[in-house]
Amino acid sequence: MGILSLFKKKNSFFSEEEKQQIVDAIRTSERTTSGEIRVFVESKNSFVDPVDRAAQVFFKLRMDHTEHRNAVLLYLAMKHHELALFADEGIYQAIGKEFWDHEVVLITRAFKADRLVEGIVNCIVDIGKLLQEKFPYEPETDKNELPDEIVFGK
């Protein structure tokens, strides 16, 4: 099964302006780090655990192929307000579980308060700051290894 069969583009969850806010947050955050951030959104999660689905998406998007193994996926399933953060091994080893748990709590609150885009942007900014600290930008060698756009699933 190829990437296109897994990800059927349904992108009506956000307005064009909201999508641009999210992409801008990714681009701004990635300017100060060698880390990579992606957002994946789908209508519902067919897995029991959103972390399992996030892991599947992470590997299907080949996010584990970055040079420093420092990519982070923000996964959202809109129908049941499910989300997960999934980080590659380089990041997970460098950052404690508490950070990820805290970010999930914050974005869940935003989701429930109908401030999802604000929550996503704030989460991306927080991840970017942490990535900057642990994986600073390297002007001579850094390149944007993964696309910045939002990926929409089924």
Break the chain into its structural domains and give their ranges: 21-152
**Mean pLDDT over the full length of the chain:** 90
Cα angle for residues 38, 14, 18 (degrees, 5° grid): 75
- Residue 28: pLDDT over 70: yes
pLDDT confidence bin for 10, thresholds 50/70/90: low
For residues 128 and 33, the answer to whether their CB atoms sit within 8 Å is yes
User: DSSP H helical segments within the chain, as ranges?
Assistant: 3-6, 16-30, 50-60, 89-94, 97-112, 116-134
In CATH, the number for domain 21-152 is 3.10.310.50
86-129 residue pLDDT tens: 999 888 778 888 999 999 999 999 988 999 999 999 999 999 99
